[in-house]
Amino acid sequence: MTAVPNANAWLVYPRPNPQARLRLFCFPYAGGGASIYRLWPSELPPDVEVCSIQPPGRENRLREKPFTHIFPMTQTLVQVLQPHLDAPFAFLGYSLGTLAGFELARELRRQRAPGPVHLFVGGRRAPQIPDPEPPIYNLPEPEFVVELRRLSGTPEAVLQHPELMQLLIPVLRADFAINETYPYTPEPPLDCPITAFGGLEDEEASQEDIGAWREQTRGSFRLQMFPGGHFFLNDSRAALLKSISEDLYRYL
């Protein structure tokens, strides 16, 4: 018998809200953890409960082996989340996290389980668009660090800290492997609306790439671009959360 995963390890509620009318599950970018979303509850509607996903290999789960493929992770997440899908819910993924939210929504549909009322995706091209860049997850360490510096997602102070990098490189490699080996399989579009966000200066995902998420829904689609590069999540946070709130109010 397969052991049921520990939901307490996977799910972080920055501000528990038992009276919430909608739950927003948030999936982190590569190398990131649940703490990315710790301040969000104060800037979203009070009837929304934020639940951050904490995959293994980071923050308080640093010593656990990270996933290297998307499907084992989403199958585990189905088991983790099912007791927490007792109210309307939405998924939000950023960069790598978009794959988790998207494939989890499709897996719930395959299992004829309740699905999200809305899917928010940010900072990643639509899943049907192949990655134009060669993979970096399996590069030798010096070349891998050069690529991390080019992508600007890891602070320079961390890149120059050997002990920290020895802790971070395994989870970064694993997360890049998820992204770079992702095998998109065509399926019917989702029924839930999709809102897609992008950064106007993001060299990793153009406005056209972000707009192609339109093909993944039968429902309404909205595209919004923000000033900044790949990490507009930080640079334009107030405007991003205002936009998310506007979409969530329709369910409240």
Average pLDDT value over all residues in the chain: 92
Q: Which amino acid is at 141?
A: E
Q: Kindly give the pairing relationship between strand 48-53 and strand 11-12.
A: antiparallel
Which amino acid, one-letter code, is at 223? Answer: L
Give pTM, 2 decimals: 0.94
Tens-place pLDDT, residues 193-234: 999 999 999 988 999 999 999 999 999 999 999 998 888 888
* Domain residue ranges in the chain: 7-131+184-251
Q: Tell me what pLDDT residue 84 has.
A: 93
Please give the backbone phi and psi of residue 94, each rounded to the nearest 5 degrees, phi first. -125, 125
Q: How far is the C-alpha of 190 from the C-alpha of 233, rounded, in Å?
A: 25
DSSP, residue by residue, 9-73: HHEE-SS--TT-SEEEEEE--TT--GGGGTTGGGGS-TTEEEEEE--TTSGGGTTSPPPSSHHHH
Question: For position 188, what pLDDT does the model report?
Answer: 98
Return the closest-CA partner of residue 130 out of 166, 167, 183: 183
Residue 88 has pLDDT above 80, yes or no: yes
CA separation for the pair 23, 156 (Å, rounded): 35
What are the pLDDT digits (tens) for 178-188? 999 999 999 99
Could you tell me the pLDDT band of residue 248, with boundaries at 50, 70 and 90? Answer: very high
**95 catalytic residue (yes or no):** yes
Report pLDDT for 152: 67
Which of 95, 236, 243, 245 is labelled catalytic? 95
Architecture of domain 7-131+184-251: 3-Layer(aba) Sandwich (3.40)
